[in-house]
Amino acid sequence: MAKDKSFSPHGTQVFQGWLTKDQWNKLIVAYSDPKELGESYELWVQKCNDFSTMLRDGGLFVHQIKIDVKAFFKWCEKYNREINNKSLGLYAAYKYTHDALDSTA
């Protein structure tokens, strides 16, 4: 039986912020280093998909979390975070956790 690389119940989970094209356009103007996002939305999507595949191939479980940029900006301000890739990943994990807690309440 082939190993399912999309799910690892006891392995490490990774949280990837996922943006629509409209949200990406709003985010890039505020990013501390816009080059981190890439030259276009399409290239950013390809880069994210390639990275997710690499992580899954390594046995990790990747959660793609839909990001609302306005809420992300507020979170960065509240926690005094720079608007960059690291903060985007941390926010995705924060959002996943808080959304999961909200759904069990």
Give the per-residue pLDDT at 37. 86
Q: Residue 15: beta bridge partners?
A: 63
Quickly list DSSP for 18-78.
E--HHHHHHHHTT-SSGGGG-SSHHHHHHHHHHHHHHHHHTT-EEEEEE--HHHHHHHHHH
Say which residue the tokens 């890039």 belong to: 28
pLDDT one-digit tens code per residue, 9-64: 557 889 999 999 999 999 999 998 888 888 899 999 999 999 999 999 999 999 99
Q: H or E segment at 15?
A: strand 13-18
